[in-house]
Each structure stands twice: as structure tokens, then as C-alpha cells.
């Protein structure tokens, strides 16, 4: 039988459950029924077997124990048995817990949950609490493809409101669920009825959210303003008002509201997060985001998770993603891949491209004919400072690695981890701890011998359309891995700092960018290294700018973006970086590459 058919897997579990029932082994029967529920939570045969087991055991709920490490199938089975025993509120509590654990499963898609008569057996306040528990477990809004398993709860809400049409808490909670499931008009109707039934701060907040989802900004702000009048000390509402104003281009008013909140409590998490995000939105100074990252690090017990830092870094060069490389050899590579071998592609370069770019093109398109017209001065084949362990050697204009290939284990580890996007630099640092046990030689070997991309959707897109992005991913994550090498060594004399500095000042290459990003990331997570990293970034950017006055520097704009992401950078270097980013030398990736990047960062965005 195919392993990917949940119904068939459930049938196998049911067969074993029936066999155990026939032998009187109720505990084994229960374990197989619970497993079948996980595979097919709405399959009628599963519920029929559960009913048989319930009858055979005399309603023994202990067959499905719940505790600290309860199996979700046992939790759901117990919920159904509680409902059958006339205790549906307790059953709904457990179903809501299962939904919180796995929102994509259709735990509630069973007749007793959607029965019109169920709300008559429930206290309306408890129903409201259950709906609020569901809301807390899912995003706002829920993506369309993930809404169907949650619709039974919306049916429960409809039925409950029919029975209790003027219960304010129930109407507000139902509105919150309807809003998350895309039923915006219904959300407005229910929230408005709740406020009319009994005006309250919470009711006005629900109404404001519903109006905001409906695009009725003026009404949303009015409702949220009434919430503040009812409870001037709920600073979360101030942050909501500020966010709504900012989303509608009223940034100065938004910051006024945030300043009012911070005047009441300078450490209130919602206000702090919103303030830093809006101030970065106003002036683009990364210092606001660094301060937010510091706040998050120093306040690990915030009341709830915030996405302001990730939202601010998303799609921004080096803050939330690797920058795509550009240049004539990569243009030729992409052209050859698009042509799918229809004809050989030849490219004549006026100047030498970075060794990683040249080797990536040669590996991806073996028939690619590349001719380098001249090598301009300063010679890009020479390190900017003498290394103790060079990565490349040149024969003419052809580069070859000086290091051996990494181990198969290291290659597999980087395949599992490397990705072109991350929520923010501290999150990238945390994720790279998976490379902490990889040997230094392997990490360096990965830089010049990147393994093939994995056989995943991400890997297939990169291999087929732009292998350069995969190589850059490998190099970035290998350098982030270096940050976790011998972390017991003090930073100033550490191996990790020494190796990264050598990479920064090596042959002008993508590896330069990756190593500098690792140093910048270190500055984000450790305030003590910020002066050192800012100095290195300033020196490296000044060197690139000086070379750019003599010849083209392919990595100059990317280095400038890295500088703009660096904590505590001096104003003169920040100005220089701004000039490089906005100046005439800036390279914009071609339209096809921009579309590819949009697809990668939206379809394959990693979890925070």
C-alpha cells in the first residue's frame, strides 16, 4: 500500500485495532485507534471503531491518557469520548488543544462539533474562550490553503450566536475567528453587535481589528481610540493604533502614539518593538533594528512573540537575505540555462570576474566559452592582504582551490541548512549553531568546493535557474558556521576572528562578502565586538572604494549594503556606503533574476 495515503494508513491501524479488540486487548486497540485518528481524523470507520472500544471498556477514558507528553491522537480520541459522555465542553477544550498543536489537521470536522444543538449544552462564555484559544493558535489572517480545518469552529461560532445572540464576549471572539478565516464582513457585524450589547475595551479592540481588515481605517482608528478611553493603561492598543496609522502612511502620528505609550512604560514590549520598527521605517538607520535586537536579547520573557524585527529585515540586502550576484559571466550563465543547451554561449569579459563566479559558471555550463580580455590593476587575483592560508591559486585567469574538498558529512550538513533568506541576523546566527561541530578545514573547504544543491524544491529552482545563488548560500552559511568555532576563545585573539579576517582580506570574491556578513552578524549578537567589527567594515569598504577608482569592483555594492547593516558604523563610512549603493556603479539584477529572487524568498522562506 502507498505510504503517502493517510486513509490507507488509517485502515491498517484500524485492522490492528479490531484484532486487538477481538482478543480483549483494549490498550493496544486504543493505541491503534489513536494512531488512526492522526492519519484520518474524520474517517467514519475510525469513529465507529472508537465507539466499539468505548462500549467494550465501559467508557474508560484512561485508555487515552493525557499528561505532559500526551499523544495528539489520544487527546483527540478522549475529546470525542467526552462529548459522547455528555461532556462536550471538556471535549472541545481538548480539540482546541489539538488544533493548537497541529492547526492543519481537521480535528474538529466531525458532526458533534457542528451540530446546531451543541451550543445549547455549552456556557457561552466557555464557548468564547474556546474560540479565543483557536485564534491564539493560528496566524491572522490564516492563509487560504489552511482555512478548511478551522471552519468547523466557525460553524460552532455561528450556531452559538444563534443561541446567544447578545453575548458580548462570544460575539467578539467569534469576530476574531471570522476575521482570521477571511470572513471580514461577518467579523464586522459580530464585533459591532458585541459592542452594542455591552461596550468594553476588548469589544472595541475586536471591532477595530475587524474594521482594519475590511479596509475601513477611519472606523478602525475610532474604535481603537474608544478602547484607549475605556482603558488608558492598555499600551498594546497604543501600539495597534500606531501600526494602523503607519500602514496608512501617517508615520508622524504613529510615532506620537508610540511616544505616549513609552512615556507611560519605556519597557513595554509591544511599544518598544513598534517604536524601533517605525523609526527604522522613517529613516532607514539600522541602529533602530540593532537596538530592537538588543531589547529582544535582554528581554527573553516577553509576553508574546513579535515579528517587528523580521518584518523590518525581510527582503533587505544582508539584513534578511543574501544579495544576488550580478555581472557578465553570470548573465551568460543564466542565458545558457534558459536556452537549455540549444546553442553554445560565448562571453568575452573586459575584466576578470570573482573566482567563485567563474567556477560556478564553468561547473554549471561546461560548454560555456569565457574569454578574459585583460586583467586590470590592482590585480584582482592577488589578496588585498597576505593570508596565511590562501583559498585560490591562479594559472593565467583560471582559478583553482588550494584546499581539499570537505567531508561528505559537512556537505550534507550545509545542504540541510543553507538558505538564501533568514528572519534577521541574530536568527541566522542561532540557526548556524548546527555547524558548530563541523571541522574548520571542512568549513573552509565548503567555501571553495560547494556541494550540489539538495533535491528539494529550493535546490531544484536554484540548480535549474541560477546556481550562483546556491553557491552564495553555501558560502554565507559556512562563514556563519565559523562564528561557532571555538566559542570559548575570547574574541580578540580567537581563531574564528582570525580566519574570518583573512577571508575578508583575501582575493576579491563572494567569500569576501560572506565572511564580512559573518562579522557583521557577530556584532549584532555581541555588543562587545561592535567597535572591532565596525572598524574592519570601514577599512574594507574604504579599500574597495579606492580600488573602484582604478577598475570595476563587482562586490563593491554588496559590501556597501553590508556596511549599512553594521552596528555602530561611523557616519563617514555610512555616507560612503550610501554613495556606492545609490551611485551610477550600482548593478541592478536583470528582470528575470528579480522574479526568481521574489519566488525564492516568498515560496521558500524559512521559519523564524
Strands 346-349 and 369-372: parallel
pLDDT tens figures, 556-583: 999 999 999 999 999 999 999 999 998 7
Q: Report d(CA 190, CA 197) in Å as an integer.
A: 11
Cα radius of gyration rounded to whole Å, the chain: 29
Q: What is the pTM of this model?
A: 0.84
Which cell numbers in the block locate residue 578?
Answer: 550610501
Question: Which residues of the chain does CATH 1.25.40 include?
Answer: 233-313
Task: Answer whether 349's CB lies under 8 Å from 372's CB.
Answer: yes
Q: Which of 169-183, 241-255, 277-291, 592-606 has the lowest mean pLDDT?
A: 592-606
Q: What is the mean pLDDT of residues 354-366?
A: 90
Give strand pairing partners of 421: 321
**Across 454-578, where does the E strand assignment appear?**
none
Cis peptide before 378 (omega within 30 of 0): yes
Q: What is the pLDDT of residue 6?
A: 61
Which cell numbers in the block locate residue 359?
Answer: 567556477
Q: Which residue has the cell 565559523?
A: 482
Ramachandran region of residue 86, left (φ > 0), alpha (ψ -120 to 50) or beta? left
Which of the four pLDDT bands, split at 50, 70 and 90, describes residue 346? confident
The DSSP symbol for 321 reads B
**Does the 233-313 domain belong in CATH 3.10.20?**
no
Q: What is the pLDDT of residue 429?
A: 98
Q: What mean pLDDT is reported for the chain? A: 92
Task: Answer whether 309's CB lies under 8 Å from 289's CB.
Answer: yes
Q: What is the pLDDT of residue 303?
A: 55
The DSSP symbol for 376 reads P
**Could you give the dihedral angle defined by the CA atoms of residues 265, 269, 271 and 272, in that order, rounded to the nearest 10 degrees?**
100
Task: Answer whether 118's CB lies under 8 Å from 88's CB.
Answer: yes
Neighbouring CB atoms inside 10 A of 452's CB total 12
Residue ranges in 284-365 assigned as alpha helix (H): 287-298, 308-313, 328-339, 355-364
Residue 126 CA, chain-centre distance (Å), reads 34
Q: What is the pLDDT of residue 2?
A: 40
Q: What is the pLDDT of residue 533?
A: 98
Residue ranges in 352-407 assigned as alpha helix (H): 355-364
Give strand pairing partners of 393: 400
CA nearest to 581, candidates 324, 317, 326, 377: 317
pLDDT tens figures, 229-280: 999 999 999 999 999 999 999 999 999 999 999 999 999 999 999 999 999 9
Q: Which of 329-338, 370-379, 401-410, 411-420 has the lowest mean pLDDT?
A: 329-338
Strands 398-401 and 392-395: antiparallel
pLDDT tens figures, 449-494: 999 999 888 888 887 778 999 999 999 999 999 999 999 999 999 9
Task: Answer whether 586's CB lies under 8 Å from 555's CB.
Answer: no
Task: Answer whether 495's CB lies under 8 Å from 485's CB.
Answer: yes
Q: What is the mean pLDDT of residues 538-562?
A: 96
Cα–Cα distances (Å) from 579 to 545, 558, 559, 560, in that order, read: 10, 12, 12, 9
Which cell numbers in the block locate residue 113?
Answer: 462539533
Q: Report d(CA 289, CA 312) in Å as an integer.
A: 8
Task: Answer whether 236's CB lies under 8 Å from 209's CB.
Answer: no
Q: Report d(CA 515, CA 1) in Å as an integer.
A: 50
Amino acid at each position: 500500500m502507498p505510504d503517502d495515503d493517510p486513509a490507507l494508513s488509517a485502515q491498517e491501524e484500524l485492522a490492528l485495532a479490531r484484532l486487538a479488540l477481538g482478543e480483549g486487548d483494549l490498550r493496544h486497540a486504543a493505541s491503534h485507534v489513536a494512531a488512526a485518528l492522526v492519519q484520518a481524523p474524520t474517517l467514519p470507520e475510525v469513529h465507529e471503531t472508537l465507539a466499539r472500544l468505548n462500549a467494550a471498556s465501559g467508557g474508560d477514558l484512561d485508555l487515552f491518557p493525557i499528561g505532559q507528553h500526551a499523544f495528539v491522537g489520544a487527546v483527540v480520541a478522549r475529546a470525542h469520548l467526552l462529548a459522547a459522555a455528555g461532556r462536550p465542553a471538556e471535549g472541545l477544550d481538548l480539540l482546541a488543544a489539538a488544533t493548537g498543536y497541529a492547526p492543519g489537521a481537521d480535528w474538529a470536522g466531525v458532526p458533534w462539533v457542528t451540530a446546531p444543538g451543541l451550543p445549547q449544552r455549552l456556557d457561552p462564555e466557555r464557548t468564547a474562550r474556546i474560540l479565543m484559544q483557536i485564534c491564539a493558535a493560528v496566524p491572522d489572517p490564516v492563509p487560504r490553503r489552511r482555512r478548511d480545518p478551522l471552519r468547523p469552529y466557525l460553524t460552532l461560532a455561528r450556531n452559538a450566536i444563534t443561541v446567544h445572540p447578545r453575548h458580548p464576549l462570544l460575539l467578539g471572539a467569534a469576530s476574531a475567528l471570522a476575521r482570521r478565516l477571511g470572513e471580514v464582513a461577518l467579523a464586522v457585524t459580530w464585533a459591532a453587535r458585541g459592542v452594542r450589547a455591552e461596550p468594553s475595551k476588548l469589544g472595541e479592540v475586536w471591532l477595530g481589528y475587524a474594521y482594519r481588515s475590511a479596509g475601513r481605517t477611519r472606523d478602525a482608528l475610532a474604535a481603537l481610540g474608544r478602547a484607549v478611553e475605556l482603558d488608558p493603561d492598555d499600551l498594546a492598543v497604543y501600539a495597534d493604533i500606531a501600526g494602523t496609522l503607519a500602514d496608512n502612511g501617517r508615520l508622524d502620528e504613529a510615532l506620537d502614539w508610540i511616544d505616549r505609550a513609552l512615556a507611560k512604560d519605556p519597557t513595554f514590549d509591544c511599544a518598544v518593538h513598534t517604536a524601533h520598527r517605525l523609526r527604522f521605517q522613517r529613516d532607514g538607520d539600522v541602529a533602530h533594528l540593532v537596538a530592537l535586537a538588543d531589547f529582544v536579547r535582554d528581554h527573553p520573557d516577553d509576553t508574546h512573540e513579535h515579528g517587528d524585527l523580521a518584518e523590518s529585515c525581510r527582503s533587505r540586502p544582508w539584513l534578511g537575505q543574501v544579495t544576488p550576484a550580478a555581472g557578465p559571466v553570470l548573465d551568460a550563465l543564466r542565458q545558457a540555462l534558459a536556452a537549455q543547451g540549444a546553442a553554445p554561449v560565448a562571453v568575452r569579459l573586459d575584466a576578470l570576474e570573482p573566482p567563485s563566479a567563474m567556477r560556478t559558471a564553468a561547473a554549471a555550463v561546461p560548454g560555456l566559452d569565457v574569454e578574459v580580455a585583460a586583467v586590470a590593476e590592482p590585480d584582482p587575483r592577488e589578496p588585498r592582504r597576505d593570508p596565511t592560508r590562501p583559498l585560490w591559486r591562479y594559472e593565467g585567469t583560471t582559478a583553482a582551490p588550494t584546499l581539499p574538498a570537505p567531508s561528505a558529512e559537512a556537505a550534507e550538513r550545509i545542504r540541510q541548512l543553507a538558505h538564501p533568506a533568514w528572519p534577521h541576523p541574530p536568527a541566522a546566527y542561532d540557526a548556524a549553531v548546527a555547524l558548530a561541530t563541523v571541522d574548520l578545514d571542512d568549513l573552509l573547504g565548503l567555501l571553495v568546493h560547494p556541494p550540489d544543491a539538495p533535491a528539494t524544491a529550493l535546490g531544484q529552482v536554484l540548480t535549474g535557474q541560477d546556481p550562483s545563488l546556491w553557491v552564495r548560500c553555501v558560502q554565507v552559511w559556512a562563514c556563519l558556521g565559523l562564528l561557532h568555532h571555538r566559542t570559548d576563545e575570547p574574541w580578540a585573539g580567537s581563531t574564528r576572528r582570525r580566519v574570518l579576517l583573512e577571508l575578508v582580506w583575501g582575493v576579491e570574491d563572494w567569500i569576501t562578502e560572506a565572511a564580512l556578513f559573518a562579522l557583521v552578524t557577530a556584532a549584532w549578537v555581541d555588543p562587545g565586538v561592535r567597535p572591532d567589527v565596525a572598524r574592519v567594515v570601514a577599512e574594507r569598504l574604504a579599500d574597495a572604494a579606492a580600488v573602484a577608482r582604478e577598475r570595476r569592483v563587482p562586490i563593491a555594492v554588496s559590501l556597501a549594503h553590508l556596511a549599512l547593516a553594521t552596528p555602530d558604523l561611523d557616519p563617514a563610512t555610512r555616507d560612503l556606503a550610501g554613495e556606492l549603493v545609490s551611485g551610477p556603479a550600482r548593478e541592478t539584477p536583470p528582470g528575470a533574476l528579480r522574479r526568481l529572487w521574489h519566488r525564492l524568498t516568498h515560496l521558500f522562506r524559512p521559519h523564524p
